[in-house]
Structure 1
Amino acid sequence: MDQKLIRGIGNSYADEILYDAGVSPFPTAKAIPAPYIDRLFNSINEVLKSAIKQIGAANGDELKGELKDFMNIHSRTLKKTSKGEEIKTEKIGGRTTYYTDEQQLFL
């Protein structure tokens, strides 16, 4: 969630990427093992490509508003993921993050 090294991925997409990679939003980056770094890298690509397709399909050539209906975890209305995991929220650095207990926490 700390954007000192990588900026530009918004809070909602950070939640989606971390969920997709199975990584908790709470560890420091240096605590994440190499295999999970690879997962994060792949998730960044997959989640953002999917979002571009979803937003393009909904908006056509005109970008209107902030479409988030397709998100798997970052949603005020969702209580559980499609896998049945309870979605929790917490403030980190003034931002609300959405996560599950099933995401790996590295210390």
Structure 2
Amino acid sequence: MTLQPKQVTVPDALEMEEAYFMALLAKKRTVIKTLLMDQKLMRGIGNSYADEILYRAKVSPFSFANRIPPKVALKLFHSIAKVLNKAIKDIAEANGDELTGELKDFMQVHGAKLKETAKGEPIKSDKIDGRTSYYTAIQELFN
């Protein structure tokens, strides 16, 4: 903690502009899940929500960012806001003024206890940069 923190120069995931996100993906040959969690590129997405965002957009967490077609990248951009805003709403409704319970209760795909999605899709897991990633076979791989 410091009295004079450095000014943040990267956008929060919920305030990020479409053009910034699209340009970021186009120039980075990084695994998309790693890119989404990189707090030096955008703030506010952790491991759990990266899985949820990628599942909603139907993009494999192993895809390379610069290989994702523009139309799919746009869908991914919109998934960020939808997933994060829904999480904020669900957690607020469940907790009111006091934060209690497991915050992962609302996850569709991320969680060791989940074996399949609400749609009946088997959930797979694997490590990406040392973190467990949860995904399904319906998520398209771009490499």
Compare 44-53 and 59-68 and name the one that shifted more.
59-68
* Structure 1 runs, 4 residues or longer, greater than 4 Å off: none
| 2:29 corresponds to | none
1:71 counterpart (86, 107, 120): 107
Superposed counterparts of 1:9-28, under 5 Å? 9-28=45-64
Pick closer, same or farther for the CA change 1:77–1:85 going to 2, 3 Å: same
Greater fraction helix: 2
| 1:36 corresponds to | 72
Give the partner amino acid of 2:129. Answer: G
- CA distance in structure 2 between the aligned counterparts of 1:66 and 1:86, rounded to whole angstroms: 22
1:49 counterpart (85, 88, 96): 85
- How far the C-alpha of 1:6 sits from its partner, in A, is 2.8
Query: Where in structure 2 are there 5+ consecutive unaligned residues?
Result: 1-32
* TM-score, normalised via structure 1 length: 0.92
SS at match of 2:105: coil
Compare 10-19 and 68-77 and name the one that shifted more.
68-77
Greater relative CO (CA pairs within 8 A, separation 6+) = 1
SS at match of 1:104: coil
- CA distance in structure 1 between the aligned counterparts of 2:100 and 2:80, rounded to whole angstroms: 23
Kindly report the root-mean-square deviation, in angstroms, between the aligned alpha carbons of the 2 structures.
1.3
Compare 8-17 and 64-73 and name the one that shifted more.
64-73
- How far the C-alpha of 1:65 sits from its partner, in A, is 5.9
Give the partner amino acid of 2:64. Answer: T
| Count of residues in correspondence between the two structures | 107
Q: C-alpha offsets along residues 38-92 of structure 1, whole Å, 9 cap, x if unaligned?
A: 1111110110111001100111123346511111000111111111111000000
Give the partner amino acid of 2:66. Answer: K
Q: Rg bigger for which structure?
A: 2
- CA distance in structure 2 between the aligned counterparts of 1:68 and 1:96, rounded to whole angstroms: 14
Give the partner amino acid of 2:82. Answer: E
| 1:98 corresponds to | 134
- CA distance in structure 2 between the aligned counterparts of 1:69 and 1:61, rounded to whole angstroms: 18
Identity fraction in percent = 62
